[in-house]
Amino acid sequence: MAGEWYRAENLRALFARHAKVSESGTEIRLPAVLVPDAANPHDAQAVAVFVDGLHVGYMERPDAKRYHRHIVGLPGGELVVASRQWLRASADDTWARVTLSLPLPEHLQCPNPFGRDCVSLPPGSTIQVTKEEQFMEHLIDLLDRYGSDTVVAASLRSVIEKRPRSSVEVVAVDIDGQQVGVLSPTQTANFMPLVRRAEAEGRQVYCRASLRGNTLKADVALHARKAHELDETELQELFETRSN
């Protein structure tokens, strides 16, 4: 990553929030948000890097050139990735480095289209889907179609899951119109408000998902912002955006 030296004040503020600023050096690990910066006067393909809401630098120019258009095409126009931050500081000087863990740029695009008039969740943290083993026939078909390690579009819907002594509402995860699993009770609570609001408007919630595995075992993980991670402005934009 580039430009950390010019963002020394922000990096010191970041470490003051999460660790002790030390002359011997300190490491923390927080997600980084990559945001294309087309208005940058030095590079129209620049990609800014934010950690905990603080601008800490830019992607290196060769990387930004490779990733810029892919990130622009994502729902929400930004990408959240794992990141490592290191800082060593004295009273007068700051030495810092931010390292990004990047997927291949071609893995950022979904080979299957999002549904028409959908609510497209912006990229966020990784959410593991559960009970994939119950839907292996469809998952094997998907792996044959898209490959053993790829990113696809997934949709979310509410279903009633019957249990021996009760029934419970959960969020089901579909890929290409068929179920591939459900979210855990905790993650159902995180996404159900978004699903219910969309369904009340006759719409579906879509997001990016990782699909990995083989004929013996398959894993699906969502990459999306949770309901409580969206502010009122973002919610308004999310639900007012409709396909032509």
Q: Are 208 and 154 in contact (CB under 8 A)?
A: yes
Does 233 score more than 80 pLDDT? yes
Give the model confidence (pLDDT) of 160-204 as tens digits: 998 888 999 999 999 999 999 999 999 999 999 999 999 999 999
Q: What is the pLDDT of residues 46-71, one digit of tens each?
A: 999 999 999 999 999 999 999 998 88
Domain locations in the chain as residue ranges: 4-106, 110-240
Residues 14, 52 contacting (CB under 8 angstroms): yes
Query: What's 215's DSSP letter?
Result: S
Is a pLDDT exceeding 80 seen at residue 1? no
pLDDT of residue 243: 47
Q: Out of 3.40.50, 2.60.40, 3.30.70, 3.90.550, which CATH number does the structure's domain 4-106 have?
A: 3.30.70
Which stretches does DSSP call E strand in the chain? 26-29, 32-36, 47-51, 54-58, 79-89, 94-101, 119-120, 126-128, 149-162, 167-175, 178-182, 205-213, 218-223
Mean pLDDT of 143-153: 89
Residue 104 scores a pLDDT above 90 = no
Task: Check whether 244 has a pLDDT greater than 70.
Answer: no
- Note the residue count of the chain: 244
